[in-house]
Structure 1
Amino acid sequence: MPALSPNACRSALAGLVLLAGAATSHADVGLPATGAPTDPFRHVQALQDIATANGGNRAAGTAGYDRSVDYVAERLRTAGYAVRLEEFAFPLFEERTPPSLVLDPEAPDAFAAPREALRTLAHSGSGALTAPVQAVDLGLSEGPLQASTSGCESEDFAGFTPGHIALVRRGTCPFQTKAERAQAAGAVALIIMNQGTGDQTGTFGGRLERPAAIPVLGVSTELGRRVAETARDPARSRVRLKVEAETGTRSTRNVLAERGEMKGPFIVVGAHLDSVSEGPGMNDNASGSAAVLEAALRLAGEPASGTPIRFAFWGAEERGLVGSRHHLDALPEEERRRIRFYINLDMVGSVNFGRFVQLSQTERTAETAGIIQAFTDYFETRNLPVEERVRNQRGFGSDDAAFAAKNIPTLGLFTGAGNAKSEEHAARFGGQAGQPYDPCYHKACDTAENINRDVLGQMTDALTHVLRGARTIMPDR
């Protein structure tokens, strides 16, 4: 899920309710147990096999993603759905090699930054260069740091020397603004150090809205302070950095299938089908895709009464919600207005899991109140703790953010990303405090072994149950 990326947005959801190791709820809804034909994990395993056979990932624009589309579309067609593949283009950014950063490279004690302390922002320019680094309105002090406006105004670059590398702090304004200000001032590269406030201290990912002409790196607060020290010494202020990346555009597809006549109000239920390029993406987000697909297959064998449903499997979510945004932008306004609400499933098989029903809006709406209550009742009657939360919408979020931006009520199911569980929540809900909900978030180890099959089954059962009853719990307009 972007800059902060879907990653950082999801990481902001620390402290939600957890219950690790609870039993599955398949028997509660009269469905076969794990391992049977309606087990959603079978789809996770199929998508894992696809990733393994196609370079280890299922990123948008790759053969692994295309085979994932084929798998989902074939299952839906076999179940009797009319399937539509919605094609769109997205901006491509792929690193050929990891970035590098060396301070005072000609000195005997030259410092090469650890790989884990820096990251290339998506749509950064490429280049290998050595130049003096110059700090720009960093506002660093001995005491607690304050929110930063570094690099947000043209005046911040007054006195900046063209041909230098600019060092700014993250905060307040978009990365794109900082990059454009730096380029206009003649910077040959831009280093953005984390803000250093709250939990904004580590290495971070991000995305520029448009391709930059210069390399743009994000670094941890600790590394940023070290670069700032280098900038203070004119004799040792030179920095060597390298970014090697490919930019361009590629085409990919959403998968859409519909249940019932779509002439009146309808629901959209979706999950992103693509992975990051670093791994196969089994929890993020083969788990959500498997849950939506399995719910659709279960409902296909039942009468299509009640509110119509559009099942959606989005492409290029990890590139900035491109698939869901394209879909909404392409809809006629009259059709978009008929969407009663959107249900998003993104990461619903986390190994150190929680059970979250989350909203993109700060308050319930008439459309979402009954659905939220239905999910809550489902879990509570099975003694499975659950908590309603509002998603922190910094950055891009997940595909629910695309719907919320169109003023469409949204909610989602989620079991946790890369943020750590607190002692309080571990004591209350089980699991391991201090450990991530998903230790393999956006990593190569996000394989089928990174899935908690029990919680995946519970989330799938809950989704199926609520969609069956959507007609009776939705308000009239």
Structure 2
Amino acid sequence: MLPNACRTALAAFIVLTGAGSSRADVGLPASATQTDPFRHVQALQNIATANGGNRAAGTPGYDRSAEYVADQLRAAGYNVRFEDFTFPFFDERSPPVLVAGPSEPGAFTPPRDALRTLASSGSGDVTAPVQAVDLGLDAEPLQASTSGCEREDFAGFTPGHIALVRRGTCPFQTKAEQAQAAGAAGLIIMNQGTGDQTGIFGGRLTTQAAIPVLGVTTEAGRKLAEAAQDSSRNRVRLKVDVETGTRSTRNVLADRGEMSGPYVVVGAHLDSVSEGPGMNDNASGSAAVLETALRLAKEPATAPPVRFAFWGAEERGLIGSRHHLDALSDEERRRIRFYINLDMVGSVNPGRFIQLSQTERTAETAGIIQAFTDHFESKNLPVEERSRNQRGFGSDDAAFAGKNIPTLGLFTGAGNAKSDEHAGRFGGQAGQPYDPCYHKACDNTENVDRVVLGQMTDALTQVLRGARPIMPDR
């Protein structure tokens, strides 16, 4: 708790009069009330179902999702605009293939859920020896990895081989660039095996790779490393089949108030991954932001101004939020006092987290953090404040933090396992993922905890309608 002298609060916010409903063809659940954020989750699920099962950026499902949000906001009286942009498109046309020793009776084929193609991987069907690169797997205890981060790691690498590196220390992009420079025909990145970093993981390269790039579990990586030491069975087939190109998509923005002075941005990404409809990730956050905006539209308007934002192409690398910030002038960016992000706020095995991109509170965020804490405590709901590096999970708040704009977010957990401590604090099952359907086809309405979604939405609503703001100059 901060001393009373430090406890600032965010402002009562926007708002307009009027109300409205969405287009009739979306279909809302009969059990949802007119202030229940789950009604928006259901509407977005219906959109995904009618459009190929997902709402990924650059697809009809996303376009229809953006129209739904815009219709809701306009009907409530908001000024709404679309912000169009293009992005590098990446789509996996078929699951990756990885087989070690394909001509041997004892060939090792990792299970499908032990492999994941990294976004922006190149396509390719390569059969070649695998070569370990500075893995350091013999260390006891196992240390954090720098495998593949330096040119020297590839000294003696045979061009045409498939490189095997460990995750850790440097970006995936760096490992891919070093592997390509060394002449690798493909790249396999195994989870580094320390702490809970043993399972499958997602990732993205910042630029398109010329070779196939695959992520695998620690167990699969160890077996590949063993195969690399046995020339009689060191023959690996690696196949990645992807489509790349450029597509267009859009952000949805709704402003309230005169934006010439200091203002706050509240946002959530609206797109899903291509694997599924994306109900917890991130129809839940979009629903919470949208419902908060609709609730506040019925109340008297107060300052400071706010911008509600629904970002496109977050799953493609935070592209929508980065585009928005890059399009602003330096003076406009300076007037953003802080950014509030909602990403995954309906996890079925939830925690309640106030997430910081910075490791410490700032003058701008201290009061809003305290306001959220006070709200949850008033409802006897446990909450935990922590910085991003405690979860290794990136969202649009990182785009704002990259521009030195103070940020915070609400979050209920992703695909990592809940600890015993958090199960004791928040309930639920220790050892099980907060979200068992993270980035999977099963991320549908059954994968959203309606109660915790309501709690996070109520918290956002109450804080935005809260006490007198103090907005320090920067």
- TM-score, normalised with respect to structure 2: 0.90
Does 1:162 find its partner at 2:159? yes
Distance 1:144 1:451, change over 3 A: same
- Distance (Å, rounded) in 2 between the aligned partners of 1:161 and 1:354: 47
Query: Would you say the 8 A contact 2:55–2:277 is kept in 1?
Result: yes
Q: What residue is the counterpart of 1:95 in the other structure?
A: 92
Q: 1:324 maps to which residue?
A: 321
Would the aligned equivalents of 1:360 and 1:393 in 2 still touch at CA under 8 Å? no
Paired residues for 1:68-467 under 5 Å: 68-141=65-138, 143-392=140-389, 397-467=394-464
User: How far apart, CA to CA, are the structure 2 residues paired with 1:139 and 1:449?
Assistant: 42
* Deviation of 1:396 (Å): 6.5
Equivalent residue in structure 1 for 2:58, among 42, 57, 61: 61
Deviation at 1:395, TM superposition (A): 6.2
- Displacement of 1:289 in angstroms is 0.6
What are the Cα deviations for residues 14-37 of structure 1, in whole angstroms up to 9, with x where unaligned? Answer: xxxxxxxxxxxxxxxxxxxx8321
Q: Deviations over 1:101-135 (max 9, x none)?
A: 11111122222222122211111111112112222
Structure 1 residue 394: Cα displacement: 7.7
Secondary structure in 2 aligned to 1:159?
coil
Cα deviations by residue, 1:218-244 (Å, 9 ceiling, x for unpaired): 111211111112111222211111111
**Displacement of 1:142 after TM fit?**
6.1
Distance 1:244 1:476 in 2: 51
Query: In 2, distance between residues paired with 1:376 and 1:361?
Result: 18
Q: 1:416 to 1:77 in 2, by over 3 A?
A: same
The question of whether the paired residues in 1 share the 8 Å contact of 2:352 and 2:426 is answered with no
| Paired AA for residue 475 in structure 1 | M
CA contact (8 A) 1:92 1:249 kept: yes
Which segment drifts farther, 413-422 or 264-273?
A: 413-422
Matches of 1:268 and 1:449 in 2, distance apart? 30
**TM-score normalised by length of structure 1:** 0.89
**In 2: Cα distance, 1:176 partner to 1:197 partner:** 21
SS of match in other structure, 1:236: coil
Q: Secondary structure at the match of 1:111?
A: coil
Question: CA 1:226 to 1:84, structure 2 compared with 1: closer, same or farther past 3 Å?
Answer: same
1:54-100 residue CA offsets vs partner (Å, 9 max, x unmatched):
11111111111000000000111111111110011111111111111
| 1:366-418 superposed Cα distances (whole Å, 9 cap, x missing partner) | 11111111111112112222222222278671111111111111111111222
* RMSD over aligned Cα atoms: 1.6
Match of 1:49, as an amino acid? Answer: N
Question: Where in structure 1 do 4 or more consecutive aligned residues deviate above 4 Å?
Answer: 393-396
Query: CA–CA distance in 2 between the matches of 1:403 and 1:65?
Result: 23
Q: Partner amino acid for 1:316?
A: A
Q: Which amino acid is the alignment partner of residue 347 of structure 1?
A: M
> What number of residue pairs does the alignment pair up?
443
Moved more, 106-115 or 67-76: 106-115
Deviation at 1:268, TM superposition (A): 0.3
Q: In the TM superposition, what is the alpha-carbon distance from 1:476 to its structure 2 partner? A: 4.5
Distance (whole Å) between structure 1 residues aligned to residue 416 and residue 67 of structure 2: 33
Instruction: Give the equivalent residue in structure 2 for 1:474.
Output: 470
The 1:172–1:390 alpha-carbon spacing in structure 2 relative to 1, beyond 3 Å, is closer
- Distance across 2 between alignment mates of 1:185 and 1:428: 49
CA contact (8 A) 2:363 2:472 kept: no
Residues 235-244 or 395-404, more deviating = 395-404
For residues 434 and 158 of structure 2, the distance between their equivalents in structure 1, rounded to whole angstroms, comes to: 45
Structure 1: how far apart are the matches of 2:401 and 2:390?
10
Q: Percent identity?
A: 81
State the secondary structure of the residue aligned to 2:287. Answer: helix
Secondary structure at 2:248 match in 1? strand
Q: Distance in 1 between matches of 2:472 and 2:111?
A: 58
CA-CA distance at 1:346 after TM superposition: 0.8
Measured after TM superposition, the shift of residue 262 of structure 1 is: 0.9
Q: Is the 8 A contact 1:350 1:452 kept in 2?
A: yes
**Structure 2 unaligned blocks of 5 or more:** 1-30
Distance in 1 between residues matched to 2:337 and 2:100, nearest whole Å: 55
Query: CA contact under 8 A between 2:126 and 2:239: conserved in structure 1?
Result: yes
**Displacement after TM superposition at 1:469 (Å):** 2.2
- Residues in 1 aligned to 2:191 and 2:209: alpha-carbon distance in whole angstroms: 20
Deviations 1:131-156 (Å, cap 9, x if unpaired)? 12222222221632222222222222
Seen in structure 2, the aligned counterparts of structure 1 residues 423 and 247 have a Cα distance that, compared at 3 Å, is: same
Write the letter of the residue equivalent to 2:397: D
Gap runs ≥5 in structure 1 = 1-33
Deviates more, 1:103-112 or 1:210-219: 103-112
Residues 132, 165 of structure 1: 8 Å contact kept: yes
Evaluate the alpha carbon distance shift between residue 229 and residue 71 of structure 1 in structure 2; reply closer, same or farther with a 3 A threshold.
Answer: same
